[in-house]
Structure 1
Amino acid sequence: MSEVESILIRRDEAGIATLTLNRPAARNALSVALMTEMETHLADIAKDRSVRVVVLGANGPAFCAGHDLKEMRALQSREEVAEVFALCSRVMRAVVRLPQPVIAKVHAMATAAGCQLVASCDLAYAAEGAKFATPGVNIGLFCSTPMVALSRAVGRKQAMEMLLSGHPINAGTAERWGLVNHVVAPESLDAEVASMARLIASKSSYTLKLGKEAFYRQLEMGLDDAYAHASQVMTENMLAADAAEGIDAFLDKRPPVWRGC
């Protein structure tokens, strides 16, 4: 399959892996084939020590329209439907559990599982015209799986407003609610995301992996357990080669040379 025909395009440069959803005619709806490709690529990236950060973008008029509803309606059994949602959940968990930070680059509408994908990423940048919605309620299908990521990215009242109304929110509202980090002019989106990706890629890959994993683990703990876990992580981090190099480089007023361990 040529790159032009690929439904998911991967490009690597200077420690940054860019994954681009490429079903523009279908508004990048998450078909089984596309989610399978995503799962495979994310598994490969997780093992690739040359990749320090991932950028997730899309081609066409939408970032992602959620599940492929035509494909879903053609399924014949409960087991087939359940497997599609299980596959989608695996993809979303893979984004969260990926050792490398993931930045969503949202140029246009992200709805339902597309909004879930944005919420699952570690960082998100949006163009001024982008919109976000969980509109399943409008077609009798509550966005229950998108709710998992959304409710962990924004406040309860904001999440419920989106889920119960189905109304889209604009990029500025998404920024205020915490669904995205920054909103930029459409012509500046690529440059802004690339700048942040390069900044993250300049850090120790070992430290990024350790910190990302600790962040998500402590979120689901009580306060005492969270501090205990974070203290263990800090101890491990402090004794790592990259921490020693980073501290020495800081004291010597020179750039660090990371070893990734």
Structure 2
Amino acid sequence: MDYTTIEVTRDDRGAVRITLNRPQRRNAFNDTMLRELDRCARELNDDPTVRLVTLTGAGGDFCSGRDTAELSEVGARDSGRPVPAAGGHESSMFRALEMPTVALLDGAVVGGGLGFALQCDLRIATDRVKLYDGHLRAGMAPSVAAWYLPRATTVGRALRFCAHHRPVPPEDLGALGLFEAIVAPHELEAAHERLVAPFLGTDPRLLRHTKALLREAQTEGYEATMRRVGLVRAIERLGKPA
């Protein structure tokens, strides 16, 4: 599939990389990018050989949020609805991915771009990352960050982060608890390879089953999770020779 705002590459290990590719706009997303990302995510879920998806940005920035050139159009579109749309309703495609996901964060990670990063299962940042929500400063409550941040860190840390009117200082990044590692920019790829190595040696089907089980276990009781494990194992046995 050809794309105009993202690049999608794949290696022979089943590792897919999605690169947000609007560097002239610091990879700010527009409606076209959202549609392309949504289509890409659905196609990846349909491919049983994909083991891992990594999300990154071109040109030294991850994503600077919604393209400001479209803000007035988006505001008019949302305000015209009889019932306001839920926050993040157009940009939850990474949450829907069934396989493990990793965000590689450098430069701007702002607003909706932060939402993209938080939807990924794992995150690695460089020590020059500019992590910032920005919704409060713009007169709005946070969107998807309101759900992800308190689960990834604490309510208090999430509140402090959202209230910041500037990016988090580098020396405070580790205290947020959001990253598997914080490295120098030239070390980012090596840190990524170390992180993803266990996934790339695992059956892609079992990876997806395990991710689904872990997600459901966040809201289920112990007995319900064990029943779900039993059902998944029974399904897995159906595909094995007697």
**TM-score surpassing 0.5?**
yes
CA deviations over 1:29-87 (Å, ceiling 9, x no partner): 12111111111100000111121000000012321111112201234734477799669
Paired residue secondary structure (1:10): strand
Give the distance between the partners of 2:106 and 2:128, measured in 1 at CA.
7
Q: Which moved more, 1:226-235 or 1:80-89?
A: 80-89
Q: 1:237 deviation in Å?
A: 4.7
Contact kept in structure 2, 1:97 and 1:213, CA below 8 Å: no
| Other-structure match for 2:196 | 197
Aligned to 2:8: 10
2:233 & 2:171 partners in 1: Cα distance? Answer: 39
Q: Distance in 1 between matches of 2:16 and 2:84?
A: 26
More helix by percentage: 1
What SS does the corresponding residue of 1:180 show, helix, strand or coil?
coil
Distance 1:171 1:30 in 2: 25
In structure 2, what is the Cα distance between the partners aligned to 1:231 and 1:169? 40
Aligned-residue RMSD, C-alpha: 2.9
What SS does the corresponding residue of 2:17 show, helix, strand or coil?
A: strand
In the alignment, which residue of structure 2 is the partner of 1:51?
50
CA distance in 1, matches of 2:86, 2:235: 37
Q: How far has the Cα of 1:208 moved from its partner?
A: 1.3
Identity %: 21
Match of 2:186 in 1: 187
Question: 1:39 corresponds to which residue?
Answer: 38
How many correspondences in the alignment?
238
Contact 1:172 1:183 in 2 (8 A): no
Q: Runs of 5+ in structure 2 lacking a partner?
A: none
Q: CA deviation at 1:123?
A: 0.4
* Structure 1 spans left out of the alignment, 5+ residues: 246-258
Deviation per CA, 1:153-203, whole angstroms, max 9, x where unpaired?
Answer: 221011111212333224553333221111122111012213323321211
Amino acid at match of 1:44: E
Higher RCO (CA 8 Å, separation ≥ 6 residues):
2
Secondary structure of 2:109's match? strand
Q: Quick one: which of 216, 219, 222 aligns to 1:227?
A: 222
Tell me the equivalent position of 1:153.
152
CA distance in 1, matches of 2:88, 2:99: 20
Cα pair distance change 1:171/1:55, threshold 3 Å? farther
